[in-house]
């Protein structure tokens, strides 16, 4: 299962009346590992940022350290500074009712297609 979540340029305000500009996608690939004869548990396989605009490429190159921490948090790392950042940010789960407002899309693909897209 691959979850794609759009990444927008900031700062943005609802008061401006303009739509936020998308600069890339955060992609999360999960592999389902059998836990018993009738159920499987999702395990993170690969997480990557895919810039879709020139601004997204620039942001990714200039903030590589910050981006790598964000990718590690998506992989399961605890928030490095819980005292500084009050709450964790909402991460997509692949369940439509839990991902409301994140504008995520879910695609089921084989392992070869995931590795080809993330290269």
What confidence score (pLDDT) does residue 83 get? 64
Please say whether the beta carbons of 66 and 37 come within 8 A.
no
Please say whether the beta carbons of 74 and 28 come within 8 A.
yes
| Number of independent structural domains in the chain | 1
The answer to whether residue 96 sits within a structural domain is: yes
What confidence score (pLDDT) does residue 110 get? 86
What confidence score (pLDDT) does residue 82 get? 65
The answer to whether residue 35 sits within a structural domain is: yes
Instruction: Extract the runs of DSSP E, i.e. beta strands, from the chain.
Output: 2-8, 22-34, 40-51, 105-107
- What whole-number distance in Å separates Cα of residue 116 and Cα of residue 63? 25
Show the domain range for 56.
Answer: 2-10+19-109
The answer to whether residue 68 sits within a structural domain is: yes
What confidence score (pLDDT) does residue 107 get? 92
The answer to whether residue 117 sits within a structural domain is: no
From first to last of the 119 residues of the chain, give the pLDDT tens digit. 999 999 888 787 778 878 888 899 999 999 999 999 889 998 888 888 888 889 888 888 888 888 888 888 877 777 666 666 655 677 888 888 988 888 899 999 888 888 887 77
Give which of 58, 42, 59, 3 is closest to 26, Cα–Cα.
Answer: 3
Computed on alpha carbons and rounded to an integer, the radius of gyration of the chain in Å comes to: 16
The answer to whether residue 94 sits within a structural domain is: yes
């Amino acid at each position: 299962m691959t979850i794609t979540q759009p990444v927008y340029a900031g700062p943005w305000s609802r008061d401006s009346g303009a739509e936020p500009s998308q600069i890339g996608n955060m992609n999360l690939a999960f592999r389902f590992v059998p836990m018993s004869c009738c159920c499987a548990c999702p395990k993170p396989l690969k997480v990557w940022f895919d810039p879709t605009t020139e601004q997204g490429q620039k942001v990714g190159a200039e903030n590589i350290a910050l981006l790598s921490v964000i990718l590690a948090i998506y992989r399961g790392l605890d928030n490095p500074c819980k005292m500084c950042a009050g709450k964790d940010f909402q991460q997509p789960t692949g369940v439509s009712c839990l991902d409301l407002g994140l504008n995520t899309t879910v695609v089921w693909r084989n392992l070869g297609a995931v590795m080809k897209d993330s290269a």
